[in-house]
Structure 1
Amino acid sequence: MTHRVVLLAFPGFQSLDVAGPMAAFEAAGRYTVQVVATTPGPVRSSSGVSWLADRVPAADRVGTFIVSGGEGVDAALQDAAVMRLLQRMSRHARIRIASVCSGSLLLAGAGLLDGKPATTHWSRTRQFQQRFPQVQLDADRIFTRAHNVWTSAGITAGIDLALAMIAEDFGQELAQAVARELVVYYRRPGGQSQFSALLSLQTKEHRFDGLLDDVRGQLMERHSVEDLASRAHMSPRHFARAFRDETGVTPAKAVERLRVEAARSALDAGAASVQKVARDCGFGDPDRMRRSFIRILGVPPSALRRSRAAAPADARS
């Protein structure tokens, strides 16, 4: 028995938001995949290439309904037909509803994410927070899940989302085989950061870029606010305020992010000793590192090691 996956396109959608999950479900061989639109026919993507979309099937024929993102999201938010469609699908508890990239804005606009955790493309974070404060946005995650509603981050995270769904539907072994077929990593945990910690802390002013780069190269050091302020030639109070104003996080949080990212990379590369990773990355002990991993990534180091162990060898190389 096949599971029907329906992918919603709209004018200005991002092609890869549809093509990525579609390729994963196709490779699994257990799904019927269909691209639809509120108005069937050619739908122009943000790249200018048009996709031929079908009419939306009856809800009782849909297993998973996935909403794409893209430049056209803002116009789609104002499209009453799109909002009605999403609300209609949400009334059927058996349907798994998901979004890729900025498509989460459409789910939020239809009221499907109220009080629920969600993620979106990092570039849409401020817009999302301002427009939908009732949603528990965590834009640093690859994907989120709240019962039958899933959201995923920017573009390629749609493949991670699809792999997680395949694993849930038909087991880890098939999801691993699909990852091997697509030559992608199986599988990034939902809590993994969308982008590097250093990149996320950079600002247009680049005032603290050099300091942060130095910190990343000396993670075993203490890096107190007083020490960082001295290196920035500022008073501790002025430094702490200016740093948070420009980066959006406290100095301590920034250092923690850099340490977690370095530790995650070391573990993913196959580091044999958790104790050594914790020491080299400045945590001091594994328990402190574990708490930071859960706080930043939502999972402990052991979960990342299990994920790596489950990955096919060619995806780890």
Structure 2
Amino acid sequence: MSLVSPSGGPVTASSGVRLGPTVAAEGLGPIDTLVVPGSPALPQGRIDQALLSLVEGLAGRAARVASVCTGAFVLAELGLLDGRRATTHWRHAAALSRRYPRVRVEPDVIHVRAGQCYTSAGITAGIDLALALVEDDHGPRAARDIARELVMFLRRPGGQSQYSTALSGSAAPDSPLRAVTEAVLADPAADHSLNTMSRAATVSSRQLTRLFRTELETTPARWVEQARLDRATQLLLDGLSVTATARRSGFGSDETLRRVVARQLGTTPTEYRQRFTSTASTASAQNRTGAPVREDS
């Protein structure tokens, strides 16, 4: 990996962190993936000409080009996103769309691949994008192993609302499971019985079960339950009631949701929301008492 800047040498980020040493473009060899980071100045139209020239030259040599957060403004300014789908941080999506009407901006996705151009949403979405690139290059198992090591979600199917998915949630692009898992993640509350998923994958129930065990190292029922639990936890943090969360996540009843949350998370839906809605309130309570806070539902 190489850090590149228009003139080389150390670079100070907007946060004050010094990066480097960077190299000038002349010192680079072949480029597989060019990644353009974001900056607070980019949505305001302050795009340095030297930076544009650098990215333009490097993009012409790269096998693929990606941006993180507001780095999409650089790619759009160079016309690399014209006629393509793209995303950026939700706060700046409207500005990207207004300034570059030829770009098909999608403000509610984590990352987008359009040909050999990749764009991602907020800063941490760059990790999601990196996992997707690893999956493209080395397959879903490698990406899944890295996600587990980082304690990361392998794929978040929702949008900027930060819906998560199971760590084991990615099947190979050409696998019969791909359409099945994407359907579950898109609508966890729908009918995802073994027979329904088998028909969608056009394989027998026995073959579907074998595929889940081989590719995702779990069973269909456990995978669906995990996807529903991931959706349920986000709905709880979004402020929905336990009843509404149970219905919209696919668990159906409050009791089923409570049973799954207790078994997998060791808590109750109400406790989960209270603990994670505000880290500040939990931390301050711990500081006052010297012990973790227990919140009864």
Q: For the superposition of Structure 1 and Structure 2, which TM-score range results when normalised by the shorter chain?
A: 0.5 to 0.7
Relative to the length of structure 1, the TM-score reads 0.51
Once residues 68 and 282 of structure 1 are traced to their aligned partners in structure 2, the CA distance between those partners, rounded to angstroms, is 35
Partner amino acid, structure 2, of 1:44? T
Select which of 126, 129, 138 maps to 1:158. Answer: 126
Select which of 99, 111, 123 maps to 2:79. Answer: 111
SS at match of 2:52: helix
Preserved contact between residue 77 and residue 109 of structure 1 (Cα < 8 Å): no
Select which of 59, 68, 72 maps to 1:90. Answer: 59
Once residues 278 and 75 of structure 1 are traced to their aligned partners in structure 2, the CA distance between those partners, rounded to angstroms, is 39
Shift of the 123–262 alpha-carbon distance from structure 1 to 2, 3 Å rule, reads farther
| Structure 2 counterparts to residues 256-295 of structure 1, below 5 A | 263=189, 267-269=227-229, 280-281=247-248
Matched, 1:64 2:36: no
Task: Give 1:177 deviation, angstroms.
Answer: 1.2
Shift of the 146–196 alpha-carbon distance from structure 1 to 2, 3 Å rule, reads closer
- Larger relative contact order (CA 8 Å, sep ≥ 6): 1
Select which of 151, 170, 190 maps to 1:183. Answer: 151
Partner amino acid, structure 2, of 1:281? R
Preserved contact between residue 87 and residue 112 of structure 1 (Cα < 8 Å): no
| Structure 2 counterparts to residues 242-261 of structure 1, below 5 A | none
SS at match of 2:2: strand
Give unpaired runs (5+ residues) of structure 1.
Answer: 1-32, 198-259, 272-276, 284-312
Give unpaired runs (5+ residues) of structure 2.
Answer: 164-185, 191-224, 232-243, 251-263, 266-297
Q: Give CA deviations for 1:14-67 in whole Å, capped at 9, x if unaligned.
A: xxxxxxxxxxxxxxxxxxx22111121121112111111222356761100000
| Structure 2 counterparts to residues 232-247 of structure 1, below 5 A | none
Partner amino acid, structure 1, of 2:88? T
Once residues 159 and 230 of structure 2 are traced to their aligned partners in structure 1, the CA distance between those partners, rounded to angstroms, is 19
Q: Give CA deviations for 1:255-304 in whole Å, capped at 9, x if unaligned.
A: xxxxx898599843179xxxxx9993399xxxxxxxxxxxxxxxxxxxxx
| Structure 2 counterparts to residues 1-317 of structure 1, below 5 A | 33-52=1-20, 53-56=22-25, 61-74=30-43, 77-92=46-61, 95-189=63-157, 192-195=158-161, 263=189, 267-269=227-229, 280-281=247-248
Shift of the 78–113 alpha-carbon distance from structure 1 to 2, 3 Å rule, reads same
Partner amino acid, structure 2, of 1:123? R
**Identity rate of aligned residues, in percent?**
36
Preserved contact between residue 188 and residue 228 of structure 2 (Cα < 8 Å): no
Task: Give 1:125 deviation, angstroms.
Answer: 1.6
Q: CA RMSD in A?
A: 3.6
Number of residue pairs matched? 185
Partner amino acid, structure 1, of 2:70? S
Preserved contact between residue 77 and residue 105 of structure 1 (Cα < 8 Å): no
Shift of the 153–179 alpha-carbon distance from structure 1 to 2, 3 Å rule, reads same
Preserved contact between residue 120 and residue 151 of structure 1 (Cα < 8 Å): yes
Preserved contact between residue 101 and residue 152 of structure 1 (Cα < 8 Å): yes
Q: Which 10-residue stretch deviates more, 142-151 or 37-46? A: 37-46
Preserved contact between residue 10 and residue 18 of structure 2 (Cα < 8 Å): yes
Once residues 118 and 48 of structure 1 are traced to their aligned partners in structure 2, the CA distance between those partners, rounded to angstroms, is 29
Aligned residue in 1 for 2:275: none
Aligned residue in 1 for 2:212: none
Q: Give CA deviations for 1:152-176 in whole Å, capped at 9, x if unaligned.
A: 0001110000000001101111111
Shift of the 121–261 alpha-carbon distance from structure 1 to 2, 3 Å rule, reads farther
Moved over 4 A (4+): 57-60, 74-77, 260-266
SS at match of 1:124: helix
Shift of the 40–261 alpha-carbon distance from structure 1 to 2, 3 Å rule, reads farther
SS at match of 2:94: helix
SS at match of 1:140: coil
Relative to the length of structure 2, the TM-score reads 0.54
Partner amino acid, structure 2, of 1:269? L
